[in-house]
Chain A
Amino acid sequence: MSLLRQGSAAAAAAAPPDTPVRRGRGTVTAGRSAGPRTGRRSSRTRHQLMGLFLITPFTLLFLAFLVAPLGYAFWLSLRTSTLVGGDHFSWFANYQQAFTDHQFLSGLARVALFGVVQIPLMLGLALLGALLIDEVGSRLAKVFRMTLFMPYAVPAVIGALMWGFLYSPTFGPVQSLTHALGLGSVDLLSHSLMLTSLGNIVTWQWTGYNMIVLYAALQGLPREVYEAAKLDGAGPVQTALRIKIPMVSSALVLTLMFTIIGTLQFFTEPRVLRPIASSVITPDYTPNLYAYNLAFQYSEFNYSAAISFALGAVVFVGSYLFLFAARRRSGLK
C-alpha cells in the first residue's frame, strides 16, 4: 500500500492498549497533555537548550524533506501550465478543476468502494488471527503467527509481481483452483475482478502485520481479568467478544485509521500490475496513480501537485471525521 504506512501501526501497538482502562484516556490523545515537569533544579534555559539540541536533527529533516517539498508543491499547485504557452499563476483554478475532474472523482469513488469491502475483511481476519494466537499457545499457533507476518517482509513491488504471475489465466495456480471448483476460466485481471484481485494482494500483505499489532495489544492486557471471566463461566468466545475486543479498541481504532489512510493513497499494487493489465488499470485508476501519471507521463507537474493536495485534503478530513466518530462511539475522550 502506501510507502508511508510502513511502521505506522507499530506506533499503535506501542501505545499502551490498556490505557483507556487504566487511565480512561485514549492513546490518540497521548501526545497532547502529557508534558514534562520543567526542570526545577537545573536552570530552565539549560533545559530548553538541551531539548532544542536533541530535537534539531529531526527538525532539520522535517523542514528539508517535508515542509519544504510541501511548500514547493503547494506553490506549484497554484500555477497552471500547458504544453504550449507556458505557465502562469492561477490561484486555486487547479483545485477547482480537481474537484470537478471526473477522472479524479471516479478514482476516489473506486478506492472508497475498495476500502469499504477490503478493510473490514482484512482487519476482521487480523483480529480473528490475533485472538486465536492469544488464546492458543500451541506450536501451530507460532507457525501461524510467523507465516501470516512473512508477507510484510516482502517488498510491495515483489509481492505484486508474484501475484501477477499467480493470477495468470493460463498457468496460474488460482486458475487451476477455479477449474477444480467447477467455476471454469476466471480472468482475475479483467475489469470486473481487478479490484478483488488487488484486494487479495493487499490482504495477503498486510493482514499479518495488523494481526501482530493487535496481538501485541492483547498480550498487554492483564491476565487477571480473564481469570475472573473464566470463573464466571465465560467461554473463550465470550471472553473475546466481551472483554478482549473492547479492551484493545484503541489499538483497533488506530490500525483502522492507518489502513484507511493507506487505502486512500492506494498506489503501489495498481502501479506494478498496470503493465500487465493496462487496459483495465487506467492511468486514473486511483487518485494517487492519477497524480503520478499526470506528473511523470504527461509532464503536468502543476495539476499533479493540485491533485495530490486535493487527495491530501480528503485524507485529512476523512481521518479526522473517523477519529471523531470513533472516539464518540467508544466513549474515549
Chain B
Amino acid sequence: MTTAVATPAVPATHHARRKARVSKGRVTVNVVMVAMILYFLMPFWWLVVAATKNNDALFSTAALWFHSPGSIVDNLRQLFTYNDGEYLRWMGNTVVYAGVSGVGATAVATFAGYAFAKYRFPGRNLLFSSLLGAIMVPATALAIPTYLLLSKVALTDTMWAVILPSLLNPFGVYLVRVYVQDSLPDELLEAARVDGAGELRVLFNVALPTLKPALVTVLLFSMVGTWNNFFLPLVMLNNDKLFPLTVGLQSWYAGAMVQSGANALFTLVVVGSLVAILPLILAFLLLQRYWRGGLTVGSLK
C-alpha cells in the first residue's frame, strides 16, 4: 500500500479511492487464499478419490479424478471385514488409548499446573525448570530404555505400555500453569478459603470451572497426540490385537510393499487412512470454537 495519505481534504473522494484500493487488495488476498486452500486440500481430495478405486484403478487411472466410485462400498466392506475385522479392533484400541490417555493426561496436567501456579512446595523450581528440557529429548532416545524398564515389570505388549507414558504431558502442565496465573487471581481463591472452603474444594469448585477452556484444549490436544502416535505403540506392542490404527495401517502397508504372501492391500491402506482421519477432522471442526477459545483465552483473560 502507498504510504501515508495526508489528512483527507475531500473525504468523499478519498473514501472512494480507498475503497477501490481495498477491493483490489481484497482480490489479491482472495486469490492467495484460494491458491493455498487448493494446495492444502489436494492430498485430501486425492485420498477421497483414491478410496473409491479398486487396486487396479488405483495404479492406472488419473490420480485426481474418480474412476469407479462404486468401488467405495466394496472397499469399505473389505476394510471392516478383512482378517476378522481387525481394522475395527484397531479403531477400538485407538479410541481407548486416546480416551484414557487424554483424560488421564488432562487430570495430571491440571493438578500439576495448578500446583505450580498456586502452591509452594519443595522441589518446585527444579521440577518446573526441567519441563522445558523434557521436550528436547528425542522420542527415539526414550524408546529403548522405556521398553526395557517396562519389560522388567512385565508391562510391555499390554495396553498400559501405550497409556502410561502418554499420561506425561509437559506442555499440558505448562499451558495450565500459564492459564491459572493469568485467569485465576489469588484473591478469588483467598475469598473461598476465608469462606471456609478446604483446598480441594477451592480447586474443584472455584478453580476448575474457570479453567474449563484450558482443560478442553489440553484434553483435545493430548487425545490427538495419542491418536496420532506411531512410534511409541510400534515399539511397545508386539501383539497385533493391541495395535492402534497408525501401527496397524503401517503393517498393512508394509505387507503390501514386501513382495510376498500375495496380498496387495493398497486399497485397504487408502480407505483405512481415510476412515482413520475422519473422526479427528470432525472433532476439530465441531469443537473448533471451543478449542480456539482455549488457545486464545490465555490472552483475553
Contacts and interface: CB of A to CB of B under 8 A. Distances in A.
Interface in B1-28: 1-7, 25-26
Interface string A24-59: 000100110011111101100011101110110111
Contact of A10 (B46, B221, B283, B301): B221
Contacts of B91: none
A13 interface: yes
Contacts, number: 344
Interface in A282-333: 288, 291-292, 295, 301, 304-305, 308-309, 311-312, 315-316, 319
Interface of B: 1-7, 25-26, 29-30, 32-34, 36-37, 39-44, 46-47, 50, 59-64, 107-109, 111-112, 114-124, 127-131, 133-146, 148-149, 164-165, 167-169, 171-175, 177-179, 181-182, 186, 193-194, 199-200, 203, 214, 217-218, 221-222, 224-225, 227-232, 245-246, 249-250, 253-254, 257, 269-270, 273, 276-277, 280-281, 283-285, 288, 292, 294-301
A197 interface: no
A16 interface: yes
Interface of A: 2-4, 6-8, 10-11, 13-18, 27, 30-31, 34-39, 41-42, 46-48, 50-52, 54-55, 57-59, 61-62, 64-66, 68-70, 72-73, 76, 125, 128-129, 132, 135-136, 140-141, 143-144, 146-159, 161-163, 165-166, 168, 171-173, 176, 204, 207-208, 212-213, 216-217, 219-221, 232-238, 258, 261, 265, 267-268, 272, 275-276, 288, 291-292, 295, 301, 304-305, 308-309, 311-312, 315-316, 319
Contacts of A72: 145, 148-149
Given A31-B116, A128-B32, 15 more contacts: A7-B225, A14-B295, A14-B298, A54-B112, A58-B112, A58-B168, A66-B142, A70-B142, A150-B284, A161-B269, A171-B61, A261-B136, A267-B138, A301-B144, A311-B138
A196 B224 CA distance: 27
| Interface of chain B, main secondary structure | helix
8 contacts: A31-B129, A51-B120, A66-B134, A140-B34, A147-B36, A155-B276, A158-B277, A311-B141
A165 B1 CA distance: 42
Contact of A216 (B109, B112, B299): B299
B178 A11 contact: yes
Nearest to B38: A147
A50 B253 CA distance: 50
A144 B246 contact: no
Contacts of B297: 14
Contacts of B118: 36, 51
Contacts of A171: 59-63
A136 B28 CA distance: 12
A55 B131 CA distance: 13
Contacts of A308: 138, 140-141
Listed from nearest, the 6 A-B pairs whose CB atoms lie closest are A220-B299, A51-B119, A308-B141, A235-B1, A51-B121, A58-B112
Contacts of B39: 204
B174 A11 contact: yes
A155 B46 contact: no
B137 A213 contact: no
A280 to B, nearest CB: 16
A233 B2 CA distance: 10
B153 to A, nearest CB: 10
A131 to B, nearest CB: 10
Contacts of A54: 111-112, 114-115, 119, 203
